């Protein structure tokens, strides 16, 4: 319910859609920068033990899997925004008059 109320307030705001797009761009940049920082940091570590190297390789494999799935978050956010906009069509705001 709170999310619905928040969206209604964004829809009534003149710059509401600009805020949504800016948030989406910020999300994508955060994902991109996070991935770049991770790979720069993870490549800088050197381990002397074979067990530590094996563990680091496992972590890198898991990170690769997770980083491949991160763009899906952006797709879900975009789909949510589109659904919210479509559901907003035909809706009638209180106080605007009508039948």
CB 42 within 8 A of CB 60: yes
pTM over 0.85: no
In a domain, 39, yes or no: no
Q: What is the reported pLDDT for 3?
A: 59
**Total domains present in the chain:** 1
> Positive or negative, the Cα torsion across 48, 54, 58, 60?
positive
Write down the residue that tokens 């925004």 correspond to.
Answer: 81
In a domain, 82, yes or no: yes
What is the distance between the alpha carbons of residues 9 and 62, in angstroms, rounded to a whole number? Answer: 40
CB 93 within 8 A of CB 12: yes
Q: What is the reported pLDDT for 37?
A: 94
In a domain, 61, yes or no: yes
CB 10 within 8 A of CB 20: yes
In a domain, 38, yes or no: no
* Tens digit of each residue's pLDDT, the chain (99 residues): 565 566 566 666 677 778 888 888 898 899 899 999 999 998 888 889 999 989 999 999 999 999 998 888 888 888 888 887 787 776 555 555 544
In a domain, 34, yes or no: no
In a domain, 63, yes or no: yes
> Positive or negative, the Cα torsion across 31, 33, 34, 39?
positive
Residue 74: give the domain boundaries.
19-25+53-89
In a domain, 32, yes or no: no
What is the distance between the alpha carbons of residues 27 and 92, in angstroms, rounded to a whole number? Answer: 31
Q: What is the reported pLDDT for 90?
A: 62
Q: What is the reported pLDDT for 19?
A: 83
In a domain, 37, yes or no: no
């Amino acid at each position: 319910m709170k999310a619905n109320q928040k969206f209604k307030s964004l829809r009534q705001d003149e710059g509401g859609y600009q805020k949504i797009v800016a948030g989406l761009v910020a999300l994508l940049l955060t994902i991109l920068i996070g991935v770049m920082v991770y790979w720069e940091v993870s490549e800088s570590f050197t381990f002397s033990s074979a067990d530590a190297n094996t563990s680091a390789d496992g972590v890198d494999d898991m990170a690769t899997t997770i980083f491949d799935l991160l763009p899906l978050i952006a797709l879900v956010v975009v789909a949510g925004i589109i659904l919210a906009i479509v559901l907003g069509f035909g809706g009638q705001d209180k106080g605007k008059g009508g039948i």
